[in-house]
Amino acid sequence: MVDWLIHFVTIGGLAAVAALMFAENLFPPIPSEVIMPLAGFLAAQGHFDFFGAVAAGTVGALAGAALWYEIGRAFGEQRLKRWAGRHGRWITLTPADVDKAMTFFRRHGAAAMFFGRLAPAVRTLISIPAGLAGMRKRVFLTFTAAGTALWTLLLASAGYKLGEHYERVAHWIDPVGNAVLLLAVLVYLYRLVTFRPHRGTEGAD
């Protein structure tokens, strides 16, 4: 997996970094913990500017987060939960996921946008409750961009500092990465096959 990513990002440049980070926010088979250290390593090798890589990763991730925000804003909480109960299988989103995200948002408010972007288990879905609650877009984008920029900077810095040692680490983590990717696909397929609408989600829109 790592060899494929190196080839893809080397050929695609900063646009590939942004695209991968955007995709990671929608369906994360390749996590940012792999993408951004790789981008930092390639920046150290002179393939592109380091801060350009951080900016590309931030923009891509922010675009993905903004899409979830707009989905939450357009649907509303009850409608989104009904949709998740009927069709959430395709993105493995359940009404319970929506409830958990809303609980986290209500507990922490705007700070949830910043710190949520630093939490691997929360990062993808934290934008939904902001849209559902009608948070002002400027506030949402400010806190989300700040958290995302810090996250991508830390990860890219780790890859940059590894320098030539990154390839040695990559050879070690490549089979692990392939196993994680395979596991992610299998979990997705399992949830897809076993997904069942939850009670209380069958009402009319």
pLDDT at 57: 96
Domain ranges, ordered by start, for the chain: 2-194
Angle at 136 between CA 130 and CA 138, to 5 degrees: 110
**Per-residue pLDDT tens listing for the chain (205 residues):** 566 777 888 899 999 999 999 988 877 667 787 888 889 988 988 899 999 999 999 999 999 999 989 988 888 888 888 877 776 666 667 787 778 778 878 887 788 888 888 876 677 778 888 888 888 999 999 999 999 999 999 999 988 887 666 555 555 445 545 555 566 567 666 766 666 655 444 444 4
The token pair at 84 is: 């998740």
Cβ neighbours for 35, distance < 8 A, ≥ 6 positions apart: 5, 17, 20, 21, 24, 57, 155
CB 89 within 8 A of CB 192: yes
What is the C-alpha to C-alpha distance for residues 171 and 194, in angstroms, rounded to an integer? Answer: 35
The token pair at 45 is: 């090798």
**Helical residues (DSSP H) of 27-136, grouped into ranges:** 32-44, 50-75, 77-87, 95-108, 111-116, 127-132
pLDDT at 133: 83
Query: What pTM, to 2 d.p., does this model score?
Result: 0.73
Cβ neighbours for 120, distance < 8 A, ≥ 6 positions apart: 31, 33
pLDDT at 96: 79
What is the C-alpha to C-alpha distance for residues 150 and 88, in angstroms, rounded to an integer? Answer: 31
Of 85, 83, 101, give the one whose Cα is nearest residue 195: 85
What is the C-alpha to C-alpha distance for residues 140 and 166, in angstroms, rounded to an integer? Answer: 35
Return the C-alpha torsion angle 123, 153, 13, 3, nearest 10: -70
191 CB-contact burial (10 Å; exposed 0-12 / middle 13-18 / buried 19+): middle
pLDDT at 183: 63
133-160 burial by CB neighbour count: b if 16+ within 10 A, else e? eebeeeebbebbbebbbebbbebbbebb
CB 159 within 8 A of CB 44: yes
pLDDT at 177: 53
pLDDT at 70: 92
What is the C-alpha to C-alpha distance for residues 123 and 119, in angstroms, rounded to an integer? Answer: 6
pLDDT at 195: 61
